[in-house]
């Protein structure tokens, strides 16, 4: 067992302590808000994180290192039968690294799913969503391509989005080489990656290009400058609070950027008809929960097939906690199953 996996095992054992003990170690009773109760294991992790230095006080490089270390402890590995391969794929300004996930069992109808990781456009990488992308490949019985897009502030908007867009266009033509059905491509992402996915689906409709057969949006941002009640209700949430959100936006957007740009605010688009089917998942203890829920409702009202789930006890970024939080692992598996079922219905 590697040092990292042994540390994850130790953390998992601590988090398996009885709930009353975890709450006592967290400094109090259960955390209730907006009619929801925070998972006691996440409550324990939140109490520890609040004793440390907040991300909003870090430099981008410090934040990247800190988040990579944390998610390496809490994340899960891809399922044993899923093979991974490192690739270089076209980006918005030259080739970008990517990781391809290929399951042992494949379906002739499966698309290739292009996935964009979370991190506010500033932190995160393809390791952040390693376990979840592996789960997706296994559930969809098809390849998943995770893109290591450029990050701000070194590369501000729209650099990261343009990398994902270029990778999507490439996968639309090249996916069959990796076992997907010819011409079938899906788009997905979590948090900022979810914003990329929603914006890309809309851009394909605007340009008339062949679009994704599915958009998978996991605790997405759909309007960086939007104001909702959950931004106040969960302003101090773990691991994403309002101060960190503002820190992300400050690094991601250059001065003078129009926040109404549809690549930054797909949630503002008035006409959502004709967009691809969507699977949308949100976390109960998340400043962004209202954005994702409202977008799901508006898509459904526009006639778009939507499967929506809100995981009330979980927090933003929960797909990266599957190694130590059973409820996060269960939610991730359910989201993958929902995506597979939706694709089956639409094929």
- Active-site positions? 191, 286, 316
SS3 sequence of the chain:
CCHHHHHHHHHHHHHCCCHHHHHHHCCCCCCEECCEECCHHHHHHHHHHCCCCCHHHCCHHHHHHHHHHHHHHHCCCCCCCCEEEEEEEEEECEEEEEEEEECCCCCCCCCEEEEECCCCCCCCCCCCCHHHHHHHHHHHCCCEEEECCCCCCCCCCCHHHHHHHHHHHHHHHHHHHHCCCCCCEEEEEECHHHHHHHHHHHHHHHHCCCCCCCEEEECCCCCCCCCCHHHHHCCCCCCCCHHHHHHHHHHHCCCCCCCCCCCCCHHHCCCCCCCCCEEEEEEEECCCHHHHHHHHHHHHHCCCCEEEEEEEEEECCHHHHCCCCHHHHHHHHHHHHHHHHHHHHHC
Please state the length of the chain: 347
Phi, psi of 101 (to 5 degrees): -110, 125
d(CA 136, CA 103): 9
Pairing status of strand 83-91 against strand 94-102: antiparallel
- 8 A C-beta contact, residue 13 and residue 22: no
Rg, C-alpha atoms of the chain: 19
Tokens 């994403």 -> residue: 240
């Amino acid at each position: 067992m590697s040092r990292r996996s042994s540390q994850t095992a130790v953390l998992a054992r601590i988090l398996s302590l009885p709930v009353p003990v975890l709450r006592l170690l967290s400094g109090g009773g259960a955390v209730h808000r907006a009619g929801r109760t925070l998972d006691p294991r996440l409550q324990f992790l939140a109490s520890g994180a609040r004793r440390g230095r907040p991300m909003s006080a870090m430099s981008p490089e410090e934040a990247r290192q800190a988040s990579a270390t944390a998610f390496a402890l809490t994340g899960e590995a891809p399922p044993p039968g899923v093979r991974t391969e490192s690739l270089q794929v076209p980006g918005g300004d030259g080739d970008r690294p990517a990781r391809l996930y290929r399951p042992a069992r494949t379906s002739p109808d499966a698309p290739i799913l292009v996935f964009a990781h979370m991190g506010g456009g500033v932190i995160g990488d393809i390791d952040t969503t390693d376990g979840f992308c592996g789960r997706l490949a296994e559930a969809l019985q098809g390849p998943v391509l995770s893109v290591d897009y450029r990050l701000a502030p070194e590369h501000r908007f729209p650099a990261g989005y343009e990398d994902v867009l270029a990778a999507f266009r490439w996968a639309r033509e090249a996916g069959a080489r990796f076992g997907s059905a010819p011409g079938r491509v899906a788009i997905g992402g979590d948090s900022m990656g979810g914003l990329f996915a929603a914006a890309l689906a809309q851009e394909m409709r605007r340009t008339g290009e062949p679009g994704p057969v599915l958009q998978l949006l996991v605790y997405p941002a759909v309007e960086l400058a939007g104001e909702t009640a959950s931004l106040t209700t969960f302003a101090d949430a773990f691991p994403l609070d309002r101060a960190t959100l503002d820190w992300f936006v400050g690094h991601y957007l250059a001065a003078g950027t129009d926040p109404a740009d549809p690549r930054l605010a797909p949630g503002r688009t008035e006409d959502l008809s004709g967009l691809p089917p969507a699977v949308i998942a949100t976390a109960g203890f998340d400043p962004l929960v209202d954005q994702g829920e409202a977008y799901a409702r508006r898509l459904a009202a526009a006639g778009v097939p939507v499967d929506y789930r809100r995981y009330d006890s979980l927090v933003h970024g929960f797909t990266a906690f599957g190694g130590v939080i059973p409820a996060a692992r269960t939610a991730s598996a359910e989201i993958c199953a929902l995506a597979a079922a939706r694709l089956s219905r639409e094929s």
